[in-house]
Structure 1
């Protein structure tokens, strides 16, 4: 693998400053399906300085639509998706820790995924990209960590799909993980979660304008249908709480000068949305279309569907037997996608195996995405900072 150290600095306002994405190249990997995928490229960023003993590394694990840019400012001045948590003096303190954040396998932000060029065809993989698992994502991350010369991580941390990866890290690579923080996650995806993902993918499959309707490798990536936008709207609803939606939108109408309902579906019978909540979802969908790849969405949600550490009998306990890491499990009182009961199932299984585990349910009103909402960061910071310092 070849990589160039990136130049960065921490600016005075607590932001990590300007960062650049690096790339690590590998021959390939045998996936859980038995398929060999290669060559393999991993996009990643680092923040902070690796200690002489290489014992202060923290690995950040992103959720479904995340990427390697977790902190600092990119070339366009865009802040990382967890910039409020990562940086000098922040919850994950870059004055103390060497922080690594990579784009997951199957993603569309630099790591090998459906938009990548297939060596055999010279065209993007598209829907011919092999199906992957959360375990495959973690195994690729382990390759990166080892290539960086790190034998043991101080911590792995992630929310939602990132929390699933944190669990997989503790289970699959117990000798490489000193501690793990699992936020708003589950040990096995529920039927409800599978159902939401299935409906989202079908929004893509049923869209005649979708590039995914061409199953051959190398279809026109400029041709993206609105199915991805609908899939995002469906998913985004599950990330919010009823309390948040009521407070933010209520039943407010989009056009402030309207005295009542329009009683019209608009031109061509396709309504634009009268309510503010509808306008908000339209914005979320259209912006997602501009920044994400629909085939990556399909592959990653399939990987989430496959996630089941418990296996057919539904018992997480045996799978946690070899875990060596100290564990912190966090849930949110308003999260109905991965409710507290799912976090408690993880905690009880760890306790049954007499593992070192701490648990906190955070009383935040923002739903599943509470760990990404800046208003919740102070509470998260206190808990996570204390845990990391105690490892």
Structure 2
């Protein structure tokens, strides 16, 4: 593992089979993941400083670099002190997904337990000397997995950091997922085995829709019309790199995600990081209600001003995270 100490090392694994909560079973299931950092062991040879990183809606295992301001040398989560595992989630390309399996719209629908069990199975098969995580960190979509892990397997981690995320997908977030899927299903070629140019147009429309929730209203309102046109067109081109079936089933999951009635199961220390001007995950409807529902949780706010990318401002909460970890 020394070769992966300072650089994220990409690895691959194949499950003989993976069973979904609904009973569907897939064989020869591909898992894409990466490791980085310095494992530390107890007297029995178990790794005691492992941290699982869970990526965003558009991310994969390599998105661990999103938090480089926290894990670089001498930082609060320095890779000299911790061992990181980052797994490309179930349903995402490179790991088992509609696009990589070729199942397209026939891929099994998944729930939050499936996303978690997919990663737990990798740990059981490849990292038998990890009996418990020191922590799990999740950003946005990854926050769903991190929080879900603490709900369904509450004894498997010491802490969770839940960054710019939520505990349920209702209201505005539900409307977004439903609208995205309505756009997808409006294409007559969606269920066709032959790829058609209309699919590319749908993907561009989806990317433009995603643009609406990527930046804050403060940021949009500071831009000129010309700047909005330019950045929106540039952002839309990213849609051409998506797979429509991966996006569709991901939105199906988002429409059902709700941990509201299970939050009392959480035993680990929970740090909730709320971004003050996030246009999708808001303090009022996401972070504050979660904090109120989970006893002894901690809530901090990341002040971004009018800047567009919260990940570039992580240095502002480094001391808060250091204080939180000192009590774990």
- TM-score of the superposed pair, with normalisation by structure 2: 0.89
Q: How does 1:1-391 map to 2 (within 5 A)?
A: 7-8=3-4, 10=6, 17=7, 19-53=8-42, 54-71=47-64, 80-108=65-93, 110-117=94-101, 124-147=102-125, 148-149=127-128, 150-207=130-187, 212-214=190-192, 216=193, 220=195, 224-247=199-222, 249-251=223-225, 275-290=226-241, 292-310=242-260, 316=261, 319-341=262-284, 342-351=286-295, 356-365=296-305, 370-372=309-311, 374=312, 376-391=313-328
| CA apart distance, 1:91 | 4.1
* Gap regions ≥5 residues in structure 1: 11-16, 72-79, 118-123, 252-274, 311-315
Deviation at 1:26, TM superposition (A): 1.3
Q: CA deviation at 1:305?
A: 1.5
Q: How many residues align?
A: 321
Higher helix share: 2
Q: Which has the larger radius of gyration?
A: 1
Contact 1:204–1:225 (CA<8 Å) still a contact in 2? no
Q: 1:344 to 1:69 in 2, by over 3 A?
A: same
How far 1:104 sits from its partner (Å)?
0.5
More strand per residue: 1 or 2?
Answer: 2
Deviations 1:294-339 (A, max 9, x none): 21111112112110112xxxxx4xx233322111011112124221
Hey, what's the Cα distance between the residues in 1 that align with 2:25 and 2:235? 36
> When the two structures are superposed, what TM-score results if normalisation uses the length of structure 1?
0.76
Separation of aligned partners in 1, 2:309 and 2:82:
24
Matches of 2:2 and 2:104, distance apart in 1: 31
Pairwise CA RMSD? 2.3
User: Structure 2 regions of 5+ residues with no counterpart?
Assistant: none
| CA distance in 2 between partners of 1:278 and 1:160 (Å) | 26
Q: CA separation in 1, counterparts of 2:196 and 2:18?
A: 26
8 Å Cα contact 1:200-1:232 kept in structure 2: no
